[in-house]
């Protein structure tokens, strides 16, 4: 076989070298060789590298085969090394062997050379392959070791006696024990005491399963214990390895407290939503009951002498119910937090009526001054929210003036230009409607001025006022695409300016004038009252009769449809929006209008208008009167609907 | 070279005994001629037990035949054989135990013919070290497979070199479809181009880091679907160059939870108010409702009552009727508020589980009810000794509500019979409260527990509708279930379980 | 013997009227002094401010204390009553409109003798007032002679 080999000859005799080459050629090799005879030339040749075999004389002047072998070994170079010597002694043989030569050939028996070289080349190949394999294994190990080190999860291995044998960096971070502290300890170290027994049972069962490498479970949920004793929820993957009867358990542990916290947050959020919904539902009941209270007191007041003591007492009760209605509206608007749809409306009007409601709450020592811009642009916001925000501002102002003082309420049109925006990052330039509430109170220290909108911040004790705070105002402004500015000077007072986007005014909101005392317009139209609550129905019916209307009653949508079918002289349908029994007010109106397209409709509801708007199939096609309502509100609204042209009021 | 003179022999012997390895010299027939002290030590034989015996005495029996072959081959073509790393050789001690060895052989021509000198070294340690490397590799590989994360190892060209089982599962590819592929196979198409740039940037400055700290990352499965992932990267420097290890974690669940929270938050808050703030606000809300809203109600009821008493002469029946209606509405609203507060408190409450004597609680409540209306003929049948692991305060509310309802709906029933007991359910014990009162139509059974979903006939079913919702919430909090059975005019039974 | 006074600390005018009415209905004829906030109540008890010169030995037989008060809140009033040797034994009954436990627990911790929840239903309030009168005005103190 004419295989090419590179031979390094360490030989002082050129003749001997030629002889060796000749022998190799004869043996079928195509040797390429270099002869060296000194330490320097030998190391130089090694550095140039890539020799297949070294044939080395035992003794040379100034250099020896033993030295050459030693250099080779020191450098960790694995090249077949065969001594070729003129003489051989036992000592030399033993020494050569001990030194790690691969073979030993006596020059006068050169016929052994070729088989020896062939064999050594073969062995060397096998050795190199083995070394490469080992190297690859080591490499793989390093990779895995790296994976282990960098693993975002804690990795802990334990032996059959559940003693920790491996413990990575993430485990150190997770459990708090250093690897030194943990290795050799029982696995129980990492578990809450109450789970230890259970865990041991589990692991023993697992250990008893037949088979080598095994995964116990995709993921199991466990609790871990940190060095400081703190417990945390974790997710673990466990595998078992059996080798030569030795068991190793490997556990990959991931701290899931963050996820648990997220889940808990989610549950909390859902809980909150549940309470929110509940409170929303409560609005209906509260407002029905308030309608009954207000309605019956209104009715009573009509029957008795205005100036009597009885009337005075009834008015106290009535005022209390109006206050209850006001509070209910504010509190529920706050608690509900449903998607409230902003609309364009006249802020002056709304604020004016709210001031009337607030007068009693604010108390006599507070002097109220209004500076309303006459040409105020319509504001685009949620009216109920605006009321709440304003009430909060007014109540805060009052609280800032315990001994009384001046409350100035101002409205104005404002253009916020780029300069202003540059200084107030959270607002866009444009046209705004401003509401400013100023007090003559003690003022707020500059240090806490920027904290007053913080939801946690309160200068009040829990339980004073509504406790809802300025955070609501801030939230409202941000939600509405507006902006709040607070300005305060110690001893002079505080001004809060609320900037709200301006609306185009096309969708004017229906005016709500609670408690105004203008003459009540009546009529003789025939009205169908649909209301499931008997007490509320009674109030409505009594009011309507008092206005002169003819009244027919129904307690459900179905009953109302029957009545309508039987009586085509009914002019107007006055119906609750949310009713039990499968048919809502809007559905009733729709069905009724199919038969009577000219039928006029007035809805009433204890839910906020916006909440109804988002209810499925609501589609309010008509005017809405919110509960609780006063007698005269009802009268005015009815007149409006009856006077509007056609049936599409 | 013949070893003849005594001095040379002595010298040779000394050399032999000084050798670090066990040296065994055999004749051409494989019989042991000479051994040194290391041989005795290594194999546990005395010299005299070895001399003259076939060398196979030192070889495990199962290998005898093969060894004889080797030996004969060697004698036919003798040469110096080095300590072979490659060959798996085993020695056998006098006690029969085996151990791994390395042997070098050399022939020595003597007057007695060719002798074979074998130097034998115990390589147990070396073998063990080698095995350890192998074990570690196996162990790390198993670890890699056990990792709950998908682990992908790629070269600097972005070609996948290695993946684990979780990668196959997560991405839906078998291993062989991934190895050698560009890593981008696991990245959604729309961002592959960008990914190559990220990869190059990482390779230019590799370090251990989580990938895309501020970005949402996505993986793409074999079927083309995408899912959110979290990735941490680290480089390994090897002789063949740098490799990149990526641990990929599916965060769909977490992402979903996060998105749900975000959506809920948006719906709930629509602004940046924290959940915690809302919770606090809810607390102050409850507080405000109970304080502020009750004040006007007290005034309404109180003044209406005063009117009824003080001004009876100025009022006709209709006027008095109006006032009574006002009072009823005010009182009902008061009850509603109380119930709401209770419900919100239950919702917020933390659980304190302990063993609670339900029978004793029920007994106490029954006595209270009886004391409220001593004239009423009522028969309470309370099974004794019923206990459960639960929150005592909350379960008190449950029993108060259920027994209170039973008491209410049996008004006018003579005799009133109210029962508290337990029965076996498929999953543990169910407690029940049974009455012979007004009952309800089973058609409405599922509406009972919905707050404000009042059954229509308020006269037949008074109460706020919050009470049962509260009860249900408490039972659910305990991991239990509540349901009811009833028939109009025959009575009702409420069942509940506790985890 | 002249009936001793009752100090009613209540800021809500409606509640004040109703409380007085409830006393009247239950034949509680004690003179009732009304303080509209916590500060006024303390001034009265310790003869300060507007009440300067009042005999501090003339303590009311009972203090009915609303918890939610302007200026100085009810719990603080209670704390100061218990901190002063002159008033530390004065019977104090808390009036509360809620059943919020935090208030009650805090009230009892500060040494309240009892509490009355202001019910919406006036009839219940009458009953509460009756109990109040029975216990705190008649039974709790051994009176030198029985009141008619």
Model pLDDT for residues A298-354, shown as the tens digit of each residue: 889 888 888 888 888 898 899 888 888 877 776 666 554 444 457 788 899 888 877
Pairing of strands A366-371, A214-215: unpaired
- Could you tell me how many helices (H) and strands (E) chain C has, helices first? 5, 5
Mean pLDDT on A487-494 = 83
Please check the confidence at residue A214 and state whether its pLDDT lies above 80.
no
Mean pLDDT on A252-277 = 61
**pLDDT class of A425 with cuts at 50, 70, 90:** low
Mean pLDDT on A101-119 = 81
Q: pLDDT exceeding 90 applies to what percent of chain A?
A: 14
Chains in contact with B, where contact means 3 or more Cβ–Cβ distances below 8 Å, are A, C
Please check the confidence at residue A5 and state whether its pLDDT lies above 70.
yes
Give the residue among A496, A482, A508, A372 at the shortest CA–CA distance from A427: A482
Q: In terms of residues, how long is chain A?
A: 649
What's the confidence (pLDDT) of residue B22? 85
Show which of residues 58-97 on chain C sit within 8 Å of chain B, judged by CB atoms. 68, 97
Q: CB–CB of C15 and B299 under 8 A?
A: yes
From A218, which residue of chain B is nearest by alpha-carbon distance? B148
**3-state SS assignment for residue B174:** coil
**∠A468-A470-A472 over CA atoms, to 5°?**
65
Beta carbons of A634 and A543 less than 8 angstroms apart: yes
Element (H, E) at A418: helix A418-423
What's the confidence (pLDDT) of residue C128? 79
The answer for residues whose C-beta is within 8 angstroms of residue B198's C-beta and 6 or more apart is: B211
For the purposes of burial, counting CB atoms within 10 Å of the CB of B349, is it exposed (0-12), middle (13-18) or buried (19 or more)?
Answer: middle
Beta carbons of B115 and B25 less than 8 angstroms apart: yes
Angle between helix axes A90-99 and A65-74 (nearest 10 degrees) is 10
Determine the residue among A313, A463, A464, A467 to mutate to test chain C binding: the one whose Cβ has the most chain C Cβ atoms within 10 Å: A463
Instruction: Output phi, psi for C107, to 5 deg.
Output: -60, -50
**pLDDT class of A361 with cuts at 50, 70, 90:** low
Tokens 């740039």, located at residue = B197
What's the confidence (pLDDT) of residue B279? 53
Three-state DSSP string of B358-425: HHHHHHHHHHHHHHHCCCCCEEEEECCCCEEEEEHHHHHHHHHHHHHHHHHHCCCCCCEEEEEEEEEE
Kindly report which listed range (A212-221, A436-445, B253-262) carries the lowest average pLDDT score.
A212-221
How does pLDDT run across C42-68, given as a tens digit for each residue? 999 999 989 998 888 888 988 999 887
Find chain C residues with C-beta within 8 A of A461's C-beta.
73
Q: How far apart are CA A5 and CA B106, in angstroms?
A: 26
Find chain A residues with C-beta within 8 A of B322's C-beta.
296-297, 299-300, 303
Instruction: Output phi, psi for B313, to 5 deg.
Output: -70, -25
Q: How far apart are CA A174 and CA A153, in angstroms?
A: 9
Instruction: Output phi, psi for B468, to 5 deg.
Output: -70, -30
Find chain B residues with C-beta within 8 A of A130's C-beta.
85-86
Q: CB–CB of A463 and C14 under 8 A?
A: no
Structure tokens at A296: 């019956």
Mean of per-residue pLDDT scores for chain A: 78
Please check the confidence at residue A249 and state whether its pLDDT lies above 60.
yes
pTM: 0.47
Q: Is A309 on the interface with C (CB under 8 A)?
A: no
| The two domains A3-130 and A526-643 share their CATH topology (first three levels equal) | yes
| Domains of chain A by residue range | 3-130, 151-255, 264-334, 343-512, 526-643
Chains in contact with A, where contact means 3 or more Cβ–Cβ distances below 8 Å, are B, C
More confident residue, C27 or B214: C27
Q: How far apart are CA A416 and CA A426, in angstroms?
A: 12
**Minimum distance, in Å, between the CA of residue C1 and any CA atom of chain B:** 31
Find chain A residues with C-beta within 8 A of C121's C-beta.
none
Find chain C residues with C-beta within 8 A of B291's C-beta.
68, 97-98
Mean pLDDT on C131-138 = 71
**∠B305-B308-B310 over CA atoms, to 5°?**
100
Could you please state the CATH topology (level 3) that the domain comprising A3-130 is classified under.
Answer: Rossmann fold (3.40.50)
Q: How far apart are CA B302 and CA B295, in angstroms?
A: 10
Q: Is A238 on the interface with B (CB under 8 A)?
A: yes
Architecture of the domain defined by A151-255? 2-Layer Sandwich (3.30)
Determine the residue among B292, B317, B451 to mutate to test chain A binding: the one whose Cβ has the most chain A Cβ atoms within 10 Å: B292
CB-CB: which of C14, C68, C71 is closest to A463?
C68
CATH 3.30.565.10 fits A343-512, yes or no: yes
Q: Could you give the C-alpha distances from A463 to A162, B285, C82, in angstroms and in order?
A: 57, 9, 23
What's the confidence (pLDDT) of residue B136? 65
CB-CB: which of C18, C98, C100 is closest to B298?
C18
From A402, which residue of chain C is nearest by alpha-carbon distance? C71
Give the residue among A538, A602, A601, A525 at the shortest CA–CA distance from A570: A525
Chains in contact with C, where contact means 3 or more Cβ–Cβ distances below 8 Å, are A, B
Find chain C residues with C-beta within 8 A of B301's C-beta.
120-122
Tokens 């809810």, located at residue = B282
Q: CB–CB of C98 and B341 under 8 A?
A: yes
Please check the confidence at residue A79 and state whether its pLDDT lies above 60.
yes
What's the confidence (pLDDT) of residue B142? 67
From C71, which residue of chain A is nearest by alpha-carbon distance? A402
Q: How far apart are CA B18 and CA B7, in angstroms?
A: 16
Alpha carbon B230 to chain centroid, angstroms? 19
Structure tokens at A47: 């550095």
Q: How far apart are CA B255 and CA B227, in angstroms?
A: 10
Find chain B residues with C-beta within 8 A of A329's C-beta.
none
Q: What is the CATH number assigned to the segment(s) A526-643? A: 3.40.50.2300
Q: Is C67 on the interface with A (CB under 8 A)?
A: yes
Q: Is C18 on the interface with B (CB under 8 A)?
A: yes
Q: Is C136 on the interface with B (CB under 8 A)?
A: no
From A463, which residue of chain C is nearest by alpha-carbon distance? C68
Q: CB–CB of B330 and C120 under 8 A?
A: yes
Q: CB–CB of A262 and B162 under 8 A?
A: no
**pLDDT class of A114 with cuts at 50, 70, 90:** confident
What's the confidence (pLDDT) of residue B264? 55
Q: pLDDT exceeding 70 applies to what percent of chain A?
A: 76
A 10 A CB-CB count for A565 gives: 11
Tens digit of pLDDT at every position of chain B (499 positions)? 444 444 556 666 776 777 777 888 888 888 998 898 889 989 999 988 999 999 889 988 888 887 877 777 777 766 656 555 445 688 999 998 989 887 877 777 776 677 888 888 887 877 777 777 666 666 667 667 766 678 888 888 889 988 888 889 889 999 899 999 999 999 998 888 888 887 787 777 766 555 544 456 888 999 989 888 877 777 776 656 777 878 787 777 666 666 665 665 555 444 334 344 445 555 655 666 667 788 889 999 999 998 888 887 888 888 899 999 999 899 888 887 877 777 767 766 677 888 899 999 999 999 988 887 888 888 999 999 999 989 888 899 899 989 988 988 888 788 889 999 999 877 678 999 999 988 877 777 766 776 544 433 444 444 545 678 778 878 888 888 888 888 888 889 999 998 7
Please check the confidence at residue A497 and state whether its pLDDT lies above 70.
yes
Structure tokens at A444: 């707020």
**Domains of chain C from N-terminus onward:** 6-137 (3.40.50.2300)
Q: Which residues of A315-333 are buried (b: 16+ CB within 10 A; e: fewer)?
A: ebbbbbbbbbbbbbbbbbb
**pLDDT class of A460 with cuts at 50, 70, 90:** very low
Pairing of strands B89-92, B98-110: antiparallel
């Amino acid at each position: 076989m004419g295989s090419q080999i590179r031979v390094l000859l360490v030989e002082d005799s050129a003749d001997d070298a030629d002889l060796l080459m000749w022998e190799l050629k004869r043996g079928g090799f195509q040797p390429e060789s270099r002869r060296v005879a000194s330490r320097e030339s030998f190391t130089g040749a090694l550095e140039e590298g890539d020799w297949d075999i070294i044939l080395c004389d035992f003794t040379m002047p100034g250099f020896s085969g033993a030295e050459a072998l030693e250099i080779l070994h020191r450098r960790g170079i694995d090249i077949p090394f065969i001594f070729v010597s003129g003489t051989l002694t036992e000592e030399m043989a033993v020494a050569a062997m001990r030194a790690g030569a691969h073979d030993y050939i006596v020059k006068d028996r050169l016929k052994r050379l070729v088989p020896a070289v062939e064999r050594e080349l073969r062995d060397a190949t096998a050795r190199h392959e083995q070394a490469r394999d080992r190297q690859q294994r080591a490499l793989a190990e390093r990779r895995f070791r790296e994976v282990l080190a960098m693993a975002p999860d804690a990795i802990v291995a334990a032996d059959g006696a559940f003693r920790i044998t491996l413990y990575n960096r993430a485990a150190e971070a997770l459990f708090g024990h250093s690897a030194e502290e943990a290795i050799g300890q029982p696995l129980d170290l990492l578990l809450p005491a109450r789970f230890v027994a259970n865990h041991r049972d589990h692991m023993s069962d697992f250990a008893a399963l037949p088979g080598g490498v095994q995964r116990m479970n995709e993921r199991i949920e466990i609790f871990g214990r940190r060095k400081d004793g703190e417990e945390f929820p974790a997710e673990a993957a466990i595998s078992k390895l059996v080798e030569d009867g030795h068991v190793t358990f490997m556990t990959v542990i991931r701290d899931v407290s963050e996820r648990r916290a997220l889940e808990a947050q989610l549950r909390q959020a859902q809980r909150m939503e549940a309470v929110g919904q509940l409170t929303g539902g409560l609005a209906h009941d509260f407002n029905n009951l308030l309608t009954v209270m207000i309605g019956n007191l209104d009715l009573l007041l009509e029957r008795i002498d205005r100036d009597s003591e009885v009337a005075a007492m009834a008015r106290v009760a009535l005022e209390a119910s109006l206050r209850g209605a006001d509070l209910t509206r504010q509190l529920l608007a706050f608690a509900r937090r449903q998607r409230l749809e902003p609309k364009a409306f006249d802020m002056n009007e709304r604020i004016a009526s709210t001031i009337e409601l607030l007068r009693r709450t604010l108390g006599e020592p507070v002097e109220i001054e209004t500076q309303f811009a006459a040409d105020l642009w319509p504001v685009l916001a949620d009216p109920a929210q605006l009321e709440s925000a304003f009430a909060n501002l007014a109540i805060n102002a009052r609280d800032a003036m315990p001994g009384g003082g001046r409350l100035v309420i101002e409205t104005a049109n404002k253009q916020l230009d780029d300069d202003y925006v540059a200084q107030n990052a959270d607002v866009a330039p444009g046209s705004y409607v401003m509401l400013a509430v100023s007090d003559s109170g003690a003022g707020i220290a500059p240090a806490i001025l920027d904290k007053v909108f913080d939801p946690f911040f309160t200068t009040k004790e829990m339980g004073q006022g509504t406790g809802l705070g300025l955070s609501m105002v801030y939230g409202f402004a941000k939600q509405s695409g507006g902006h709040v500015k607070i300005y305060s000077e110690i001893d002079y007072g505080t001004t809060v300016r609320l900037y709200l986007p301006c609306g185009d005014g096309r969708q004017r909101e229906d005016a709500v004038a609670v408690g105004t005392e203008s003459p009540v317009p009546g009529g003789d139209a025939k009205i169908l009252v649909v209301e499931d609550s008997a007490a509320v129905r009674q109030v409505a019916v009594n009011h309507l009769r008092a206005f002169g209307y003819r009244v027919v009653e129904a307690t459900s949508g179905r009953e109302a449809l029957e009545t309508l079918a039987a009586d085509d002289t009914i002019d107007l349908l006055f119906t609750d929006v949310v009713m039990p029994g499968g048919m809502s007010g809007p559905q009733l109106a729709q069905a009724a209008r199919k038969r009577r397209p000219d039928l006029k409709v007035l809805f009433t509801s204890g839910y906020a208008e916006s909440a109804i708007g988002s209810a499925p199939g609501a589609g309010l096609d008509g005017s809405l009167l919110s509960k609780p309502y006063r007698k005269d509100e009802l009268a005015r609204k009815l007149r409006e609907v009856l006077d509007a042209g056609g049936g599409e009021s | 070279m013949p070893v003849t003179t005594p001095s040379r022999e002595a010298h040779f012997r000394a050399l032999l005994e000084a050798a670090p390895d066990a040296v065994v010299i055999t004749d051409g027939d494989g019989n042991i001629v000479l051994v040194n002290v290391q041989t005795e030590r290594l194999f546990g034989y005395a010299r005299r037990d070895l001399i003259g015996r076939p060398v196979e005495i030192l070889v495990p029996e199962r290998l005898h035949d093969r060894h004889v072959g080797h030996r004969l081959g060697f004698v036919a073509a003798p040469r110096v054989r080095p300590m072979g790393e490659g060959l798996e050789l085993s020695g056998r001690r006098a006690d029969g135990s085996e151990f791994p060895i390395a042997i070098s052989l050399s022939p020595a021509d003597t007057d007695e013919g060719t002798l074979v000198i074998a130097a034998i070294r115990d390589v147990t340690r070396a073998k063990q070290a080698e095995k350890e490397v192998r074990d570690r590799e196996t162990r790390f590989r198993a670890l890699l497979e056990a990792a709950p994360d998908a682990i992908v190892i790629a070269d600097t060209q972005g070609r996948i070199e290695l993946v684990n089982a979780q990668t196959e599962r997560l991405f839906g590819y078998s291993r062989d479809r991934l190895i050698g592929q560009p890593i981008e196979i696991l990245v959604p198409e729309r961002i592959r181009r960008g990914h190559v740039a990220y990869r190059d940037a990482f390779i230019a400055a590799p370090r251990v880091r989580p990938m895309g700290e501020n970005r949402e990352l996505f993986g793409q499965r074999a079927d083309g679907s995408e899912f959110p992932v979290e990735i941490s990267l680290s480089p390994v420097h090897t002789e063949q160059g740098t490799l990149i290890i990526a641990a990929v974690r599916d965060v769909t669940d977490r992402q979903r939870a996060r998105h749900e929270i975000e959506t809920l938050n948006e719906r709930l808050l629509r602004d940046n108010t924290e959940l915690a703030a809302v919770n606090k606000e809810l607390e102050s809300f409850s507080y405000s409702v109970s304080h502020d809203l009750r004040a006007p109600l007290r005034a309404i009821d109180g003044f209406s009552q005063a009117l009824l008493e003080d001004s009876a002469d100025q009022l006709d029946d209709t006027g008095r009727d109006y006032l009574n209606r006002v009072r009823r509405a005010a009182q009902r609203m008061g009850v509603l508020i109380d119930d709401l507060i209770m419900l919100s408190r239950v919702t917020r409450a933390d659980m304190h589980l302990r063993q609670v004597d339900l029978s004793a609680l029920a007994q106490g409540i029954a006595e209270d009810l009886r004391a409220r209306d001593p004239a009423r003929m009522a028969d309470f049948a309370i099974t004794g000794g019923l206990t459960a692991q639960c929150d005592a305060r909350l379960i008190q509310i449950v029993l108060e509500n259920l027994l209170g309802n039973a008491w209410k709906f049996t008004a006018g029933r003579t005799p009133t019979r109210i029962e508290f007991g337990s029965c076996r359910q498929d999953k543990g014990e169910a407690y029940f409260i049974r009455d012979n009162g007004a009952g309800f139509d089973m058609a409405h059974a599922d509406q009972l527990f919905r707050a404000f979903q009042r059954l229509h006939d308020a006269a037949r079913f008074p109460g706020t509708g919050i009470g049962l919702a509260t009860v249900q919430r408490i039972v659910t909090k305990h991991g239990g279930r509540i349901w009811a059975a009833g028939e109009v005019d025959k009575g009702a039974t409420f069942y509940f379980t506790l985890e | 013997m002249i009936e001793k006074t009752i100090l009613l600390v209540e800021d809500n005018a409606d509640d004040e009227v109703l409380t007085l009415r409830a006393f009247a209905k239950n034949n509680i004829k004690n003179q009732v002094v009304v303080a509209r906030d916590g500060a006024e109540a303390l001034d009265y008890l310790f003869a300060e401010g507007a009440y300067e010169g009042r005999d501090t030995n003339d303590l009311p037989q009972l203090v009915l204390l609303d918890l939610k008060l302007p200026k100085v809140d009810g719990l603080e009033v209670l704390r100061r009553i218990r901190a002063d040797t002159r008033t530390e034994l004065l019977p104090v009954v808390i009036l509360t409109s809620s059943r919020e436990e935090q208030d009650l627990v805090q009230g009892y911790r500060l040494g309240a003798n009892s509490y009355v929840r202001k019910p919406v239903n006036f009839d219940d309030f009458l009953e509460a007032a009756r109990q109040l009168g029975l216990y705190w005005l008649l039974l709790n103190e051994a009176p030198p002679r029985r009141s008619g």
